[in-house]
C-alpha cells in the first residue's frame, strides 16, 4: 500500500508524462479559406552592366487551405504624382527592365498546394546599348481561388520590386522645395513638410527630421534626428515628405530645427524657427482681459470728464452767487 507522499510523487510523474506526450502531439491545423499568398523577398536591389546576364530567384508560398493556381507577370513600376501611389501599367525610360526579365520556362504559371512553396527562377538579360541609370519593375505572383463561386470574383497578386542601377552615365541631381513649417499652432501636432525632386537618372534617398526644444531653457523635448523619415525618390519624380510630433505642450514657445536632406546629391537644408503653441481658450481669455482693460480705460476717461464738468458747473454757480452777492 503506497503512503501518501509516494502517491503524490507518482501523481506528479504521471502529470509530467501526460503533458510531455500531449505537448509533442498536439498540432491543431487551422482551416484557412481564401487566398493566402506569400512572397519572399519583397524587394531586390541589384547593379547591372550593359550586355551582361544575371540569374536570380524568389519564393512564393501558399499558406492557405485551398489549392491555388498562380501565374507570374512582369510589370513596369512607376509612381503617380507627389503622393507616390504605385502604378504598374505605365512604361517610361526607367522601366525598360520589364523587357529584360524572363521567367524560367515552365514556371510562368502553375499550381500551389496548401502549405507548399515554389522557388521561381528568372533571368535578366541587359542589352548592350542601354543608357546608365535606374531601372524598375515588379514581378507579380497572381493567384485566384477557383473554388469561390461568388458573383464578384477575387484575385490577389503580390509583387517583388526589382530595383536596378545600370552602370554607365549616371547622373545624381535633386532639389528640396516648398518647405512648410507652421509657426503658430492652436493644437498639436507640430508638423512640417517639404517636396523633394529627383532630377537625375538613378534613385536616391530623401530624408527629413525634426527636433523640438524649449525656447527659453533650450531643453530638448523631442529629437527625431536619430530616426528620420527616409524614403526613396525614383528618377524624374517629385515626392512630398512630412514629419510630425504629437506630444506638444498645450501652451508654450518652442524652437524647432527642421533638417531636409538629399544625401547622394549633397543637398541639405536646416531651418530653425520659433513655434508658438496657444490654444483657442487662452486666446479667448487674453482677448477678454484686453477688452476689459480697454473698457476700464474708456469708462475711466468718461468718469473724469463727467467729474470735470460737474466741478465747472459748481464753480459757475458760485461765481454767479458772488456777483449777485
Partner 1 sequence: MVKTKNIVAALGVVAGIGSAALPLTTFADVTNPQNNTQVIRATVENIFELSVIPNVTLTKTDISQTLAVNKDNENTDLEHVVEVKGNAYSGYTLTMGSNNAYDSLRYVADSSEEFGTAARYNDDVNIPASTSVQHGTSSWAYRTSTTPASDQTASIKGDYSSASWTKVKANSATADTLLSQASSVHAAFDDKVYVNFGIATSETQPAGVYEGEVIYTATASF
User: Smallest distance, Å, CB 108 to partner 1?
Assistant: 18
In the three-class reduction of DSSP (H, G, I as helix; E, B as strand; rest coil), residue 127 is classed as: coil
What the block records as the C-alpha cell of 170 is 549616371
In the complex with partner 1, the residue whose CB is nearer, 146 or 315, is 146
Q: Which of residues 22-41 bind partner 1 (CB under 8 A)?
A: 23-24, 32-41
In the complex with partner 1, the residue whose CB is nearer, 238 or 277, is 238
- Does residue 89 touch partner 1 according to CB under 8 A? yes
What the block records as the C-alpha cell of 177 is 522645395
Closest CA to 70 of 146, 121, 137, 123: 146
Q: Whole-angstrom Cα distance, residue 110 to residue 69?
A: 6
- Does residue 2 touch partner 1 according to CB under 8 A? no
Backbone φ, ψ for residue 289 (5° rounding): -65, -45
- Does residue 222 touch partner 1 according to CB under 8 A? no
Q: Counting every residue, how long is the chain?
A: 325
User: Smallest distance, Å, CB 229 to partner 1?
Assistant: 4
User: Smallest distance, Å, CB 200 to partner 1?
Assistant: 15
- Does residue 217 touch partner 1 according to CB under 8 A? no
Closest CA to 143 of 116, 174, 177: 116
Q: How would you label 65-98 residue by residue, b for 16+ Cβ within 10 Å and e otherwise?
A: ebebebbbebbbbbbeeeebeeebeeeeebbbbb
User: Smallest distance, Å, CB 57 to partner 1?
Assistant: 13
- Does residue 88 touch partner 1 according to CB under 8 A? yes
Residues that bind partner 1 (CB under 8 A): 4-6, 8-9, 11-13, 15-16, 18-20, 23-24, 32-43, 63-64, 77, 79-80, 84-89, 138, 140, 142, 145, 148-159, 161, 163, 203, 227-232, 234
Amino acid at each position: 500500500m503506497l503512503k501518501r507522499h509516494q502517491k503524490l510523487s507518482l501523481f506528479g510523474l504521471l502529470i509530467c508524462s501526460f503533458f510531455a506526450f500531449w505537448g509533442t502531439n498536439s498540432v491543431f491545423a487551422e482551416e484557412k479559406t481564401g487566398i493566402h499568398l506569400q512572397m519572399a523577398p519583397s524587394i531586390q536591389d541589384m547593379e547591372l552592366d550593359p550586355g551582361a546576364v544575371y540569374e536570380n530567384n524568389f519564393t512564393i508560398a501558399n499558406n492557405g487551405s485551398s489549392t491555388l493556381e498562380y501565374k507570374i507577370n512582369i510589370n513596369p513600376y512607376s509612381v503617380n504624382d507627389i503622393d507616390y501611389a504605385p502604378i504598374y501599367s505605365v512604361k517610361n525610360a526607367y522601366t525598360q527592365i520589364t523587357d529584360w526579365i524572363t521567367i524560367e520556362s515552365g514556371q510562368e504559371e502553375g499550381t500551389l498546394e496548401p502549405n507548399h512553396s515554389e522557388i521561381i527562377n528568372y533571368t535578366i538579360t541587359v542589352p548592350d546599348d542601354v543608357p546608365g541609370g535606374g531601372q524598375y519593375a515588379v514581378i507579380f505572383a497572381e493567384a485566384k481561388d477557383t473554388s469561390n463561386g461568388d458573383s464578384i470574383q477575387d484575385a490577389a497578386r503580390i509583387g517583388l520590386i526589382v530595383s536596378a542601377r545600370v552602370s554607365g552615365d549616371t547622373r545624381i541631381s535633386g532639389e528640396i522645395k516648398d518647405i512648410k513649417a507652421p509657426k503658430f499652432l492652436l493644437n498639436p501636432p507640430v508638423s512640417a513638410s517639404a517636396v523633394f525632386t529627383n532630377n537625375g537618372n538613378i534613385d536616391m534617398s530623401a530624408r527629413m527630421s525634426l527636433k523640438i526644444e524649449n525656447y527659453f531653457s533650450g531643453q530638448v523635448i523631442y529629437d527625431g534626428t536619430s530616426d528620420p523619415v527616409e524614403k526613396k525618390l525614383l528618377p524624374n519624380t517629385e515626392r512630398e515628405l512630412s514629419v510630425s510630433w504629437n506630444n506638444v505642450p498645450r501652451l508654450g514657445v518652442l524652437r524647432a530645427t527642421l533638417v531636409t536632406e538629399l544625401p547622394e546629391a549633397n543637398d541639405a537644408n536646416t531651418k530653425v524657427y520659433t513655434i508658438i503653441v496657444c490654444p483657442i481658450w487662452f486666446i479667448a481669455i487674453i482677448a477678454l482681459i484686453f477688452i476689459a482693460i480697454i473698457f476700464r480705460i474708456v469708462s475711466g476717461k468718461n468718469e473724469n470728464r463727467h467729474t470735470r464738468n460737474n466741478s465747472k458747473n459748481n464753480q459757475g454757480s458760485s461765481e454767479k452767487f458772488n456777483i449777485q452777492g
